[in-house]
Structure formats: structure tokens, C-alpha cells
Amino acid sequence: MTTFQAFILGLVQGLTEFLPVSSSGHLVLVPWWLGWDASSLAFDALVHLGTLLAVVVYFWRDWWRMFLAVVGRLRGRRDPEGHDRLFLLILIGTLPAAVIGYLFEGFFESLFGSPPTVAIFLIITGLLLVLAERWHQEGLPIARLKVSDSVIIGFAQALAIAPGISRSGGTIAAGLVRGLDRAAAARFSFLLGTPIIFGAGLFKMKDLADAGLNSGQAAPLVVGFLAATVSGFLAIRYLLRFLRNHSLYPFAIYVWIVAGLSLLRWVLI
């Protein structure tokens, strides 16, 4: 992998991890479209850690408040703002993706080698976004989420193990259907995704440790990591602001265009 390729793929990972368009799908389709080789285990691990750093830096105050609230709860003090409860909802919402990913790892890994399958899943992502816009009822703050809501949003996150199903898109869509407004749904989506992104990064780092690393990979890895971190941070900030006054329809149209062109290319080649 060249440094330029690492920059492009790191940029793609950072942007599409948080925009509701599927990072895993884009990391399959972009190299396929450009005729590049699949990225290495080392690269996958580093760009995942880059997006993890982006979301942790952006939401560090939320995580710090949750930490203090949990410590306070263990000492018998209740947080009036409910950050300890939010932490519990995130843990509960993380379980579906963690369990399903562990049980069906091999099946989902096999899907990454099939661009047409990814394109079909992108079409499904677009449908989820459109249906959520049609069915959502705004007004519910994150503090009013119930455990059942967290479980439902967690199962939406589990769907995104398949490449082409957007993690942020699925969880934002589920949040909208459960009554959150767009900005609140996106915020909960990013907080909920943090443990999963962390787990994916650790899992890939284990693969990296088993495979080893040569010195010639250093520059592309650093470039990919930085590109994923910076673009991920900017994508979070952009989406939270965008959804205050705009719908998810533009992202649905985008993934349908990408999917349609990809299926057309697959048929013609």
C-alpha cells in the first residue's frame, strides 16, 4: 500500500464511520473501484484506532461525566443528570453486536469479498434511512430512553456487522423510530458505537500482533491513522450540526447511487 492509498482509505474510513453511509462497505468498494489490493491487517487496525480516538476526543466530556457518575453511584450517590443510567444503556445496547459478532464472525467476514453483496446492503441502508424519516416522532431526549429502546438500537447496530449496512445509519434510524430527534439519535449512536469501535480495534490489533509488522509499512500506517482520526472528528461535528435542520434523505440518495453504479460495474465487467 502506498502512502497516497493509505491517505485516501484513512479519509474514507474516518468519514464513513460516522456518516450514515457504511465505512465497511466503502472500504470494500473503494479499493475494488480503483483496482487496489485489499488493505493489510495492520492498516485496518490503525484506522479503526484512529476513528476511536476521534470519537473519544469529541465526546470526552460525556465519558468523563459517565465515569464520575458510575463511581458516585458505587459510593451511594445518584447523579441527578442521569449519566450513570446513560452508561448502563450504552452497555446494554452494546451487547447485541458483541454477541452476534462473536457467534457469526466467519459468516460476516465472508461478505467482505463480495462487492455486489455490499451494494445490496447499501440499498438496505438507504431504505432504513428513508423509513426512519417517515416513521420517526421527534421530541424524546436521550435521558428518556428506556432499556427496551437501547436494546432495539443495539440490534440495529448489530446489523452493521455486515459490510454495507451503516452502523451510524442503522442506530440513528432506530433512535428516530424510538422517538429521539435527529441530533439526539446521532449523539447516542456515536456514544453507543464507541465500545464497538474499541473492541474492533483491539480485535484487529490481536490479528496484527499475530501477523507481525515490517518497517516499510510505517509511513502509510501513520498517514492512514491521522487521516482517519482527523476526518472522523470532522465527520462527527458535521453530522451533529447537519441533523439539527436537515433530514437523512441526502445520505439515502448517496448510498443508492453508489450501490447502483457498483452493481452496474459488476454486471458489465
Total of domains in the chain: 1
Apex 262 CA angle, 259 and 265, nearest 5: 150
- Please tell me which residue, 195 or 200, carries the higher pLDDT value: 195
- DSSP per-residue letters across 18-83: HTTT-HHHHHHHHHHHHTPPPPPHHHHHHHHHHHHHHHHHHTHHHHHHHHHHHHHHHTT---TT-H
Q: What is the mean pLDDT of the chain?
A: 87
Percent of all residues in the chain with a pLDDT value above 70, rounded to a whole number = 90
Per-residue pLDDT at 248: 93
Least confident of 33-47, 152-166, 237-251: 33-47
Residue 68 has pLDDT above 60, yes or no: yes
Per-residue pLDDT at 262: 94
Q: Which domain covers residue 173, as residue numbers?
A: 3-268
Amino acid identity, position 42: A
3-state secondary structure the chain: CCHHHHHHHHHHHHHHHHCCCCHHHHHHHHHHHHCCCCCCHHHHHHHHHHHHHHHHHHCHHHHHHHHHHHHHHHCCCCCCCCHHHHHHHHHHHHHHHHHHHHHCHHHHHHHCCCHHHHHHHHHHHHHHHHHHHHHCCCCECHHHCCHHHHHHHHHHHHHCCCCCCCHHHHHHHHHHHCCECHHHHHHHHHHHHHHHHHHHHHHHHHHHHHHCCCHHHHHHHHHHHHHHHHHHHHHHHHHHHHCCCCCCHHHHHHHHHHHHHHHHHHHHC
Question: For residue 106, with 0-12 CB atoms within 10 Å meaning exposed, 13-18 middle and 19 or more buried, which class applies?
Answer: exposed
Per-residue pLDDT at 94: 92
Most confident stretch, 103-107, 180-184, 201-205, 258-262: 258-262
Residue 10 has pLDDT above 80, yes or no: yes
Model pLDDT for residues 212-259, shown as the tens digit of each residue = 656 567 788 889 999 999 999 999 999 999 998 889 999 999 999 999
Model pLDDT for residues 69-121, shown as the tens digit of each residue = 898 888 878 877 778 889 999 999 999 988 887 777 666 666 666 889 999 99
Residue 54 has pLDDT above 70, yes or no: yes
Residue 209 has pLDDT above 70, yes or no: no
pLDDT band, residue 142 (cuts 50/70/90): confident
Model pLDDT for residues 161-174, shown as the tens digit of each residue = 888 899 999 999 99
pLDDT band, residue 211 (cuts 50/70/90): low
Residue range 35-54: average pLDDT? 82
Per-residue pLDDT at 125: 95
Per-residue pLDDT at 206: 66
Per-residue pLDDT at 84: 85
